[in-house]
Structure formats: C-alpha cells, structure tokens
Structure 1
Amino acid sequence: MVSINKLCGKIVECGLTIENLADMMGINRSTLYRRLSTGGENISIKEANQLKEILQLTPAEATEIFLLQMSHAMRHAERWEIHMTLTDIEVVSSKTLTPDQVAPILRWRPQMIRLQARQRPEALGFPVIVVGTRVKIPKQAFLAYMRGSEMG
C-alpha cells in the first residue's frame, strides 16, 4: 500500500488538485481518484515515477510514500528509477533494510543479494537476517560496511 495521507499532503503542499495532477500525468481524473481511493494498490511504477517528478519528491520522500508499492513492484520488474543514497538510508526509520533498498547503492540486483544471503552470507561483507524467503539487513551494520568501518 501507498502512504495515501503523505501523498495527498504532498499534492496539497504543491498547490495541485487531483484534476491538475491527473492532467499532468496524462490520465483521467476518475482513474487517479480510483487509484487513491483504493490505497494506491494499483499505482504502477510508471505512475509512481510520474508522481515523484511532478511533486518533486526526494528519494527519501518517495521511498516513504511508495515503499511497499516499490518492494512489491521490484520483485516483478526491476525498473524503479528512484535510487537511494547513504544519506537517504540514514533517515529510514526502520532498524533493518531490504535488498530492494540497498541494491542501488551496491549496484547489484536485489535478487542477487537475496541469493547470496541464503547461500554464502559471509561473502556479502555485512550481516543479514534470513527468515524463510525474507532477507533483512541491519541498517547500522550496512552503513558501517559502506563507510569502511567496523561495527563494535
């Protein structure tokens, strides 16, 4: 699900109406209303990227608004154009990260991180938590790895 409250807040902050936004996206306003009324379930990657551009969202804001949508979409098509930086990772409120979040920084595919985490986690260079098919990465340990420092 998309954080509709945050998305609508950004729409208002930019001084746009749903009608204006739909026109800018090249879609019918009823289509946009429907997307928003269903919690953003059917917002495509293309539409999320359009919203990011039109609303001038930072990568951190886009991640906060579209995180669940992005994670789901990336499992099916790795075409997400929002790439996080280490600074963006620092402001993520969760203590763990997903392969989808760290892959652009490492310039790896998220699935490769998942496979390595299951088969040879020590080769990654940072700790991972594998539970079933899910892979989580402790945020502070990942940041330390990226900065070349030891976690103590």
Structure 2
Amino acid sequence: MRGRAGGRGASVRAMPRHHGQRSDTGPAEALGGFLAALRPTGAASDRAWRIALAAMLAARHLERPVDLNRVLEMALVRTLPGSPAAIRDALDPDNGLHVHALLLELQTAGTSEARVVHALDAIMDGREPPGRDRFLRRLAAVLHAGDRGRACTG
C-alpha cells in the first residue's frame, strides 16, 4: 500500500510549490511534479472512479441538467489529500486555481454539480442522498435493496 497512513495518498506538502512563484518551469513541469508526488491508494482511486462512472451514467436522468464535465472533475479532485490551498499552491497557477475552485465549490455544495457529487458519495456509503432528486433517490433505494438482499442470502 502506497502513501501515508490513513489511506489518503501522498501529502501535498511534499510536492513542489509553484503558485505565485516565478521560475523557469512551466505548467507541464509543475503538473509532472504534482502527479509524480501523488500516489493515490486503491480505495481513494476506486471511490473516485465509482462516483465518476455513476455520474456519467446518471447525468441524463437527473431532474435538473448538470455540467457533466464539472461533476467528473469534482469526483476526481475530491480525493486529493491536503487542503484546497495546499493543492492550489502545489500546481501551476492555472491548474491550481481551477482545482482550488472545484474543491471550494464542493465544500459549499452551492451548485447542482457539487450536490450531485455529494449525493453519489452518500449513495456509495449506503446513506440516503441529500436533496430531492427522484432519480437519485430511486437509485439509492435500488442499490440499498441489493445490498440488503446480498447480506441476507450471503
């Protein structure tokens, strides 16, 4: 198992600081350093993949349209270790500000896209999804019924 204890992957503090500093390195070098230092654990990457796949498949059935690209981005960046500011500072300015904004949007859950990610996360944990979207509630009921059926027969 890679990464630090707790299963969240490499610490962002170990990554090079690029935000706000002028240097000869560009976005490719900053992104390369960030990705080289990041070692997500199986659990974190598996959860991000499951939420992203569920979002891709569910998006067309939601009561309110969402920007699927932003939902997928949030599903992936939500598993990054460290604070939004530390992640922003570890990346080049353009990517750092973009990821920082996505993480803050997730924290406030002020958009439909962030609420979909939170709802899918709750469903994956076996909880009721926050919000009133009928499709997500039906999805949760179907998945939870399947889990109960496996627990009873297995």
What's the TM-score, normalizing by structure 1? 0.28
Q: Which has the higher contact order (CA 8 A, sep 6+)?
A: 2
Q: Which has the higher helix share?
A: 2
Q: Which has the higher strand share?
A: 1
